């Protein structure tokens, strides 16, 4: 049909399932099992609806300032968006405009190739090593930019700042984006490297460590120059990405550092215990520094375990894709939820004769 000839056709990203049933245990989209900081509830109860008549601040300055203060950077170094998906999408549009391929790992966040396709960016997926590590030497080749998550998703593997710096050193002519969606669960952020590298962009989110996936806040920190370029693109697409309520809730959340530390500490403790419990059940996994574990069973099939858990109301994530089709990505829930998971796995594995 002729009207269909000039359409931008894409294969969209598939987000994790958001089941409608009540009383399920949801360990499939790396959400935080604990509520957001108490101050967020206060903002919501005291919110003046008259504000909704007016457009929000296109700069989301209150939120930008709170983030800048928290991370000890200049507000001009902070870009905010509707979740880090929005921030990353803007970063792809702004920074990856070369004929040379953008490089990212073969096993990684499955949105990167989707953004590359939608923006007509060429890319090359670089195989991780056998044990899902990045080999920095693989990133010594011509490229139009580099992006990887640290810790990686869905593997949970954390790379060192030394490795990141090696990649930066080898690529002074490219923008290097480190997607730190899961950095707050024990990893070391690349933010200190900003002092030395003007071409580094660090992206983080309120969705995981700050328990606010539902309100949609992500941010990038980089040199003033990089952030300036991103804002130019953002203001060429949509000025009002952040609404009044989101701006206020986000600013309040990031000011409560004590709560943030307590909650991330709890998740880390549950994760460390999960490593022991899953090992005892016969699972192996790369060591995770995120809020999920990417586990394979020594004898039982991941797809079958996934279905059996689902039929018991426990949702984890499974991809039938090369290299990862025998692994389950299990988000760390509360201790009580994890106990139910271990009980269900024990039952399922016994039935499978595993
Ligand atoms: N980066 C990675 C590596 C992720 O796993 C996710 C979560 N799907 C995101 C970015 C986006 O998260 P959000 O848009 O909720 O900030």
14-35+258-352 — its CATH code?
3.90.1150.10
Nearest-CA neighbor of 167 among 141, 187, 198? 141
Tens of pLDDT, residues 78-123? 999 999 999 999 999 999 999 999 999 999 999 999 999 999 999 9
Alpha carbon 103 to chain centroid, angstroms: 18
Across 42-62, average pLDDT: 97
Rg of the chain, C-alpha, whole Å:
21
On whether the CB atoms of residues 152 and 324 are closer than 8 A, the answer is: no
Q: Determine whether the shortest distance from the Cβ of 114 to ligand 1 is under 6 A.
A: no
Phi, psi of 139 (to 5 degrees): -100, 15
* Sequence ranges of the chain with CATH classification 3.90.1150.10: 14-35+258-352
Instruction: State residue 51's pLDDT score.
Output: 96
With a 6 Å cutoff on the Cβ, whether 31 touches ligand 1 is no
The number of the ligand 1 atom at minimal distance from the alpha carbon of 218 is 16
What does the pLDDT read at residue 292?
98
Best probe residue, ligand 1, of 82, 109, 211, 294 (max atoms within 8 Å of C-beta): 109
Average pLDDT value for residue range 210-228: 98
Is the distance from the beta carbon of residue 155 to the nearest atom of ligand 1 less than 6 Å? no
- Binding site membership of 211 for ligand 1 (Cβ less than 6 Å): no
Mean pLDDT on 279-299:
98
4 CA to middle of ligand 1, Å?
32
Label residue 102 exposed, middle or buried (CB < 10 Å: 0-12, 13-18, 19+): buried
Q: What is the DSSP string of 229-251?
A: HHHHHHTTT-S--S-HHHHHHHH
Q: Per residue in 163-175, pLDDT tens?
A: 999 999 999 999 9
pLDDT tens-digit series, residues 316-344? 999 999 999 999 999 999 999 999 999 99
Q: CB burial class (10 A; 0-12, 13-18, 19+) of residue 345?
A: buried
Q: Say how many C-beta atoms besides its own lie within 10 A of residue 139's C-beta.
A: 22
- Classified as helix, coil or strand, 284 is strand
For residue 49, the model assigns a pLDDT of: 95
Burial of 245 (0-12, 13-18, 19+ CB in 10 A): middle
Best mutation site among 28, 207, 291 for ligand 1 pocket (most ligand atoms within 8 Å of CB): 207
Q: Which helix (H) or strand (E) holds 179?
A: strand 176-179
pTM, full prediction: 0.97
Is any atom of ligand 1 closer than 6 Å to the C-beta of 101? Answer: no
Nearest CA to ligand 1 atom 2: 181
Mean pLDDT of the chain: 97
Topology annotation, domain 38-255: 3.40.640
pLDDT digits (tens, 9 = 90+) for 274-283: 999 999 999 9
Cβ-contact 150, 189 below 8 angstroms: no
Segments of the chain assigned to CATH 3.40.640.10? 38-255
């Amino acid at each position: 049909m002729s009207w269909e000839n000039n359409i931008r056709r894409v294969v969209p990203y598939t987000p994790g399932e958001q089941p409608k049933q009540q009383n399920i245990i949801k360990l499939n989209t790396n959400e935080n099992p604990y509520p957001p900081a108490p101050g967020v509830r206060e903002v919501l109860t005291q919110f003046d609806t008259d504000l909704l008549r007016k457009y929000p601040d296109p700069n989301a300055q209150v939120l930008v300032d709170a983030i800048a203060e928290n991370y000890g950077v200049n507000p001009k170094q902070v870009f905010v968006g509707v979740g880090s998906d929005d921030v990353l999408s803007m970063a792809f549009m702004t920074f990856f405009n070369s004929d040379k391929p953008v490089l990212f790992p073969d096993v990684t966040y499955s949105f990167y190739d989707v953004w590359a396709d939608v923006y007509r960016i060429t890319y090359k997926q670089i195989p991780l090593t056998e044990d899902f590590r990045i080999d920095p030497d693989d990133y010594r080749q011509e490229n139009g930019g580099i992006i990887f998550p640290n810790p990686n998703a869905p593997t949970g593997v954390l790379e060192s700042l030394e490795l990141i710096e090696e990649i930066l050193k080898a690529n002074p002519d490219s923008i290097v984006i480190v997607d730190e969606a899961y950095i707050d669960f024990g990893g070391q952020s690349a933010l200190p490297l900003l002092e030395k590298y003007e071409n580094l962009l660090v992206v983080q989110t309120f969705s995981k460590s700050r328990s606010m996936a539902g309100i949609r806040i992500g941010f990038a920190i980089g040199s003033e120059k990089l952030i300036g370029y991103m804002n130019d693109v953002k203001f060429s697409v949509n000025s009002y990405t952040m609404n009044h309520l989101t701006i206020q809730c986000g600013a309040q959340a990031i000011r409560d550092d004590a709560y943030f530390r307590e909650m991330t500490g709890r998740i880390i403790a549950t994760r460390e215990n999960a490593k022991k419990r899953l090992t005892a059940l016969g699972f192996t996994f790369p060591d995770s520094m995120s809020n999920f574990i990417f586990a394979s069973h020594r004898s039982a099939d991941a797809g079958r375990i996934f279905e059996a858990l689902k039929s018991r109301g426990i949702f984890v994530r499974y991809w039938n894709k090369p290299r990862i089709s025998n692994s389950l990505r299990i988000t760390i829930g509360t201790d009580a939820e994890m106990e139910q998971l271990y009980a269900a796995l024990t039952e399922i594995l016994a039935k499978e004769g595993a």
